[in-house]
Amino acid sequence: MTKESLRKISIIAFIGLGLLLGVYDANKPGPLLLQGSGTGYNGELSVELQVKQKGENFKIIGVNVNHTDTPPIADPAIEILKNQILKNQNAELDIVSGATYTSEGVKEAVKKALEKIEK
């Protein structure tokens, strides 16, 4: 067997392995998307949690919040709340001073989203 033949066989093997792994990953279920809503300062806000399941355990891996509250006040508070959600892995959130209604709305929305796991 020449070097060139061995090189071609190796390349084909690596391509085949890559395709096999690609198909395997494509069949893996993605994260669950759980949604909940709550009442913020200017009305309803919504929270979407990206949750990964491992066996019977769940881990929140992403948080998105849509709101109509005052951006200069609500946006920094929401960033703090997102970090708390990812750290605590629950709806036990500290209220952010100056953004009480936004904080309460996010907390309410997260609780509603997480209730969907328990059902």
Note the pLDDT tens digit of each residue in 1-13: 677 776 667 677 6
- pTM score, two decimals? 0.75
Would you kindly state where each structural domain of the chain is located, as residue ranges?
Answer: 1-29, 32-118
Location of structure tokens 């066989």: 9
Residues 6+ apart with CB under 8 A from 7: none
**Residues 59-66: contacts with CB under 8 Å, at least 24 apart:** 59/89, 60/85, 60/86, 60/89, 61/31, 61/86, 62/31, 65/106, 65/109
Given a cut of 70, the residues of the chain with pLDDT beneath it are: 1, 6-8, 10, 13-14, 16-29, 118-119
Say if CB 117 and CB 51 are below 8 A apart.
yes
Query: What is the dotted CATH code of the domain comprising 32-118?
Result: 3.90.1010.20
